Amino acid sequence: MNKIDVSIVIVCMNNLKNLYPCLSSIYKYTEVNYEVFVVAYLFSNKNLEKLREDYPWIKIIISSEIRGFSENNNLALKHCMGEYCMILNDDTIIDMPVVDMLIDSMKKTPSASIMSPKTLFKDGKVQSCGRPKMTIYTYYLSMLKLWKEQKIKSTYTHQKGIFQSYNIVGAAFMIKTAIFKEFGFFDEQYFFCPEDIALSTLANKRGYKCYVNPDVQIIHIGHATASMVRVGTLPASIRGSLLFYTQNSLIRKITLRIFLSFILLLRIFYWRFKSLTYNEKAYIMYISNKNSLYAIFSSKSPKEIFMKFYKK
């Protein structure tokens, strides 16, 4: 049996419309020996059978209960046999040999533990090309709309050639499997953000380095419209950020909660006013921020927060 160079892991929430272009583009552009794990999250029986028939070469892992990004990826990561692991969102499309090029970039950069591509929006605009260090202070500024990571001048972003970054984008990155195993894969306390920042922050603390090759590009479609899922994901995300940025500091916990209360109350009033015009997006954002206010004072985990509000 040939050695597997890379294990590609994709989590898909019962959405073949996103998944099929992603799988087809991998098959078309990848020459190295690889395996693909698709975590079929809350799939209908019909879609599961169709996926098996249309892509018999993939390995399917069924996830039939509520799980977050970290938990779902970890279901597959435990079975990966490749020298490298590549995490891909199901709404990504490659139009060049991305996987091969990232492996080549890793081999050319001995100090690299993680290698990321440049991610583009569907219209070709840059979504991410490296990420700077995230701290509680940058989080404060970002919540005030005074700090946007891709507009900050930093040696960690938008450089030429393969360059060192600090943080990664969870939608697409490659990591040495042995190092990922050392970390225990993704930290499952984070249900929906900031698991990617937590991973790369841990890597940096342990002396490992993250890099970006801007010549390797991937399209990340993303979620262009608001949906009712957001009423669960936003409070879970904010609860996760509260855990990450405060760690074991009681003072940070108190001050960040006060700050977030102020921000969220402003957003609640704003979106409530907008929703009076029967704007569906405004109503979703109103409920999402209202739920987030509950989340910052709750002792529940991000997963428990999501389950409390999902489909309500």
Which of 262, 169, 183 minimizes the C-alpha distance to 216? 169
Where residue 196 falls among pLDDT bands split at 50, 70, 90? very high
Whole-number mean pLDDT of the chain?
A: 95
Reported as a single tens digit per residue, the pLDDT across 15-69 is: 999 999 999 999 999 999 999 999 999 999 999 999 999 999 999 999 999 999 9
Q: Is the pLDDT of residue 225 over 60?
A: no
pLDDT at position 152, please? 79
Give whole-number Cα distances, 69 to 25, 266, 302, in Å: 22, 29, 11
Where residue 223 falls among pLDDT bands split at 50, 70, 90? low
- Distance (Å, rounded) from C-alpha 181 to C-alpha 127? 28
Single-letter residue type at 262: F
Percent of the chain with pLDDT over 70: 98
Percent of the chain with pLDDT over 90: 91
Higher pLDDT pick, 150 / 96: 96
Where residue 143 falls among pLDDT bands split at 50, 70, 90? very high
pLDDT at position 155, please? 92
pLDDT at position 114, please? 99
Asked if 291 and 234 touch (Cβ cutoff 8 Å), the reply is yes
Reported as a single tens digit per residue, the pLDDT across 107-133 is: 999 999 999 999 999 999 999 999 999
- Distance (Å, rounded) from C-alpha 172 to C-alpha 220? 9
Burial zone of 192 (CB within 10 Å; 0-12 exposed, 13-18 middle, 19+ buried): buried
Catalogue the E-assigned strands of the chain.
6-12, 34-41, 59-63, 84-89, 92-93, 112-120, 126-128, 163-165, 172-176, 209-220
Which of 23, 13, 22, 20 minimizes the C-alpha distance to 71? 13
Phi, psi of 80 (to 5 degrees): -70, 135
Phi, psi of 188 (to 5 degrees): -80, -5
pLDDT at position 76, please? 98
Which of 3, 11, 4 minimizes the C-alpha distance to 37? 11
β-strands 112-120, 209-220: how paired? parallel
Phi, psi of 297 (to 5 degrees): -105, 5
β-strands 126-128, 112-120: how paired? antiparallel
Helix axes 98-108, 16-29, angle to 10 degrees: 60
Q: What is the C-alpha R_g of the chain?
A: 20
DSSP state of 64: -
CB atoms within 10 A of CB 37: 21
Phi, psi of 10 (to 5 degrees): -130, 125
Helix axes 16-29, 45-54, angle to 10 degrees: 20
Phi, psi of 259 (to 5 degrees): -60, -50
- Distance (Å, rounded) from C-alpha 145 to C-alpha 12? 31
pLDDT at position 312, please? 54
Cis omega (within 30 of 0) on the bond before 110?
no
